[in-house]
């Protein structure tokens, strides 16, 4: 009970100070003349959620990012941080500038929402505090609503267990000329990193050997992750649009419930798990370029949103965790057809279908956490084997989703999927068991950045999937990301993989390329 009380105090303190910050105040005095013990911008810079007139700019002051108290080497004082946006990388043509305070209530993170920029333009940004300048980042605003856009280039990724591999894929991603990056979840892993930090070969404080639970622990795990130079380069190269999956809190959590496990923490206590979620959500917000509507309110966070890119693309970012019905814990396959079981919740389902159905864009993309397509694991036609964690465990809502996209006339729906640590291309059908059933959408599922370690071009599960599921067109189980080029006529997805992640400096290659033609759902090899 003493441990629970201490953690409850830490969690409620975080929630209270977050509310104080939301009201525009800080309990801390200003630090008039900051003198940092090291570079305060060691965690890099980022931008996110581009709008036609601006973006949100992010950094976090942390001269000692792994300080055990989770404060990043900062005192309990707010710090004035100036920001600049320019048309050139040398900042000879500054078009917007201002300042904000980095407060201890939010881990000295900064979220500067910049407006007044021109649509569809490239800009450069940086921060300054005292005599220290941040690295320079690049961002591109979204095209104006309804504007003709000849091409968009972006990549999507997920699942980056820091201790299981090096982030070389991000170095290759940063070298591409991308308009933005979509991250579909598992930016952080809550597990202990192992005695020697896995493949990273580092000696770390004891807190990294155990599962993250408190706000300081989550903050330090993000700091550890964001110290990676390749990840910083990918953030600085273009704006990111992010959502979370499960590991940002705890493996397989769903709604108000944690998955029963043996981690030694009382997650079955609702008060404890709410506090843990509140701490995890706050740390997530503190470390990513999110706008004010995505700021958490205790154990609640609003990650569903729609971001438009002219008349070409509407991107619908989903949250499949906050309203998810509990995962099945037994072998009762009938439960998965229960119409009350949900991944999205009723409100998000309505917003998604209303938004996609009312969209005037050529393409509607769904930023989704786990595989929508039916995935029978057993090639024996007399046997079916489903996963409790995929949309297969929520078939009624899947039917409503795919049927709703078709009945509402959603233009060219494409689902972008993470979570499964493998690359898959799927036709999404109204009835997966009927070969004559129409294809209503295309799913591009991307592999992990590092989770699952090196992988191989194919494995037994992949071979079984391709045999048992004729709507699956491609499978690969190596690590990497997906690079997309979208025009008014076609959508092209290139599967970019590295041959290994357990050692640094891997090359990258394209192992599969698929094209969807506008007006003709379903992918074909490029």
| Secondary structure (DSSP) of 284-326 | HHHTS---GGG--BTTB----EEEEETTTEEEEE--SSTTPPP
N residues, the chain: 526
Per-position b or e across 376-399, b if 16+ CB within 10 A of its CB? beeeeeeeeebbbbbbbbbbebbe
| Percent residues over pLDDT 70 in the chain | 94
Q: Decide: 140 and 50 in contact? Cβ < 8 Å.
A: yes
Residue 308 to residues 152, 313, 315, 397, Cα–Cα distance (Å): 12, 6, 6, 25
Burial class (CB in 10 A: 0-12, 13-18, 19+), 409: exposed
CB 512 within 8 A of CB 476: yes
Which stretches within 373-510 are classed as H helix? 395-407, 460-468
**The dihedral of CA 512, 499, 502, 465: what is its sign?**
positive
Confidence bin at 397 (pLDDT 50/70/90): very high
CATH 3.60.21.70 is right for the domain spanning 2-525: yes
> CA angle, corner 162, sides to 160 and 163, nearest 5?
130
Determine phi and psi for 469, rounding to 5 degrees. Answer: -130, 90
Rounded to two decimals, the pTM is 0.94
Please write the tens of the pLDDT for every residue from 188-215.
999 999 989 999 999 999 999 999 999 9
Model confidence pLDDT, tens digit, residues 228-260: 999 999 999 999 999 999 999 999 999 998 877
Closest CA to 123 of 143, 137, 110: 137
* CA 516 – CA 288 distance, rounded (Å): 31
Q: Which of 15-29, 190-204, 482-496 has the lowest mean pLDDT?
A: 15-29
């Amino acid at each position: 009970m003493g441990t629970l009380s201490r953690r409850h105090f830490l969690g409620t303190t975080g929630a209270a100070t977050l509310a104080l910050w939301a009201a525009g105040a800080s309990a801390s005095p200003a630090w008039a003349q900051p003198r940092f013990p090291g570079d305060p911008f060691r965690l890099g810079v980022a931008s996110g959620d581009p709008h036609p007139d601006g973006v949100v700019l992010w950094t976090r002051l942390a001269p000692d990012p792994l300080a055990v108290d989770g404060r990043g080497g900062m005192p309990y004082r707010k710090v004035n941080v100036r920001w600049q946006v320019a048309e050139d990388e040398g900042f000879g043509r500054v078009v917007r500038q201002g300042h904000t305070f980095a407060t201890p209530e939010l881990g000295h993170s900064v979220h500067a929402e910049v407006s007044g920029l021109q649509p569809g333009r490239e800009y450069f940004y940086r921060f300054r505090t005292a005599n220290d300048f941040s690295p320079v980042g690049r961002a591109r605003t979204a095209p104006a609503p309804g504007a003709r856009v000849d091409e968009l280039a972006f990549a999507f990724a997920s699942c980056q267990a820091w201790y299981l591999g090096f982030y070389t894929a991000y170095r290759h991603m940063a070298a591409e000329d991308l308009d933005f990056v979509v991250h579909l979840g598992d930016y952080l892993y809550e597990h202990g990193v192992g005695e020697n930090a896995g493949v990273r070969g580092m000696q770390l404080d004891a807190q990294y050997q155990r599962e993250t639970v408190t706000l300081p622990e989550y903050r330090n795990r993000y700091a550890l992750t964001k110290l990676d130079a390749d990840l910083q380069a990918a953030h600085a190269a273009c704006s990111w649009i992010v959502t979370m999956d499960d590991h940002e809190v705890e493996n397989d959590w769903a709604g108000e419930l944690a998955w029963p496990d043996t981690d030694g923490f009382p997650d079955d206590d609702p008060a404890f798990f709410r506090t843990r979620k509140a701490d995890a959500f706050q740390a997530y917000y503190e470390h990513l370029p999110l706008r004010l509507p995505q700021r958490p309110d205790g154990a609640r966070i609003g990650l569903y949103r729609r971001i438009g890119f002219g008349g070409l693309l509407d991107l619908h970012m989903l949250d499949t965790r906050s309203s998810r019905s509990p995962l099945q814990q037994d072998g009762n396959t009938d439960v998965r057809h229960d119409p009350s079981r949900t991944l999205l919740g009723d409100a998000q389902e309505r917003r998604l279908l209303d938004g996609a159905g009312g969209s005037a864009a050529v393409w509607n993309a769904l930023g989704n956490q786990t595989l929508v397509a039916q995935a029978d694991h057993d090639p024996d036609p007399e046997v079916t084997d489903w996963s409790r964690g995929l949309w297969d465990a929520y078939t009624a809502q899947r039917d409503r989703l795919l049927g709703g996209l078709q009945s509402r006339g959603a233009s060219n729906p494409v689902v972008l999927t993470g979570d499964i640590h493998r690359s898959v291309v799927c036709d999404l059908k109204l009835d997966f068991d009927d070969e004559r059933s129409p294809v209503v959408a295309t799913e591009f599922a991307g592999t992990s950045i590092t989770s699952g370690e090196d992988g191989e071009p194919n494995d037994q599960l992949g071979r079984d999937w391709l045999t048992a599921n004729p709507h699956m067109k491609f499978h690969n189980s190596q690590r990497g990301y997906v690079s997309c080029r979208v025009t008014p006529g076609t959508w092209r997805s290139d599967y970019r993989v590295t041959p290994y992640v357990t050692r640094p400096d891997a090359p990258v290659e394209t192992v599969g390329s698929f094209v969807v033609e506008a007006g003709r759902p379903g992918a074909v090899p490029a």
